[in-house]
Amino acid sequence: MRVLVVSALVAMLLLGAASPDAVAQGSAPRPPASTPAPKPPPAGDKAKDDDKNAPVIVDADSLDSFQRQGLAIFKGNVIARQNNSIQYADKMEVYTDSKTDRVERVVSTGNVRIITRDCRMGTAERAEYYDAEQRVVLIGNARVWRDADIVTGDRITIFIAEDRSIVEGGKQERVKAIFYQNQNKPKSEIKFGPAGPICP
């Protein structure tokens, strides 16, 4: 199995690094039409950029909440938003510490698609987020890209705090990365719409 360390391209935030209040406690999620989109953070305001305590808004067809076990399961067309980043999945399981209500881990399965506020995108069959380690794992046909640059593998592990990633190939396919070195390439301007970032 080949391992490729890629830092700048795949260091992205997975939704789910949220405060305990972000997980609904038995209440139905609000419909997207009534939820105002968060405003983009002011340029240069690093504290707000990295604010993992911003609320997470989750819309889904259903929610099963198991408060004693510290588990909330969102099913059907799940859309989670935080700080102008969006994650889509068929199912999302949010595990919290039963004593502190702090999010420990988030597991998303089925058609996982992530768009970060800086227009980095990722897809996989499964995504796992571990809050204490600030680690994201994209599993199964994992792919991360921004503009034309792309990295693919069977498994992509992203260490958010370290700005470091590991991409692993599977039994059938090796790691593949395509990077364009156009120094004169203009930087894409990111705009924000009601549903989050509008990536060029």
pLDDT digits (tens, 9 = 90+) for 95-126: 999 888 888 999 999 999 999 877 889 999 99
Does residue 146 contact residue 178 with C-beta atoms inside 8 Å? no
Alpha helices in 68-192 (DSSP H): none
63-77: average pLDDT: 94
Amino acid code (one letter) for 110: G
Three-state DSSP state, 37:
coil
Q: How far apart are CA 42 and CA 48, in angstroms?
A: 8
Tokens describing residue 36: 């105002």
Weakest mean pLDDT among 81-85, 148-152, 177-181:
81-85
Q: How far apart are CA 150 and CA 158, in angstroms?
A: 15
From residue 33, alpha-carbon distances to 20, 30, 94, 117 in Å are: 24, 8, 24, 20
Question: Which has the closest alpha carbon to 38: 80, 79, 81?
Answer: 81
Q: How far apart are CA 174 and CA 105, in angstroms?
A: 28
Q: How far apart are CA 198 and CA 71, in angstroms?
A: 32
| Alpha-carbon dihedral 134, 175, 8, 194, rounded to 10 degrees | -70
Give the DSSP letter of residue 30: P
Does residue 127 contact residue 87 with C-beta atoms inside 8 Å? yes
What the chain holds in terms of domains, given with CATH numbers, is 3-183 (2.60.450.10)
Confidence (pLDDT) at 197: 60
Does residue 64 contact residue 75 with C-beta atoms inside 8 Å? yes
- pLDDT band at 67, cuts 50/70/90? confident
60 versus 31: the higher-pLDDT residue is 60
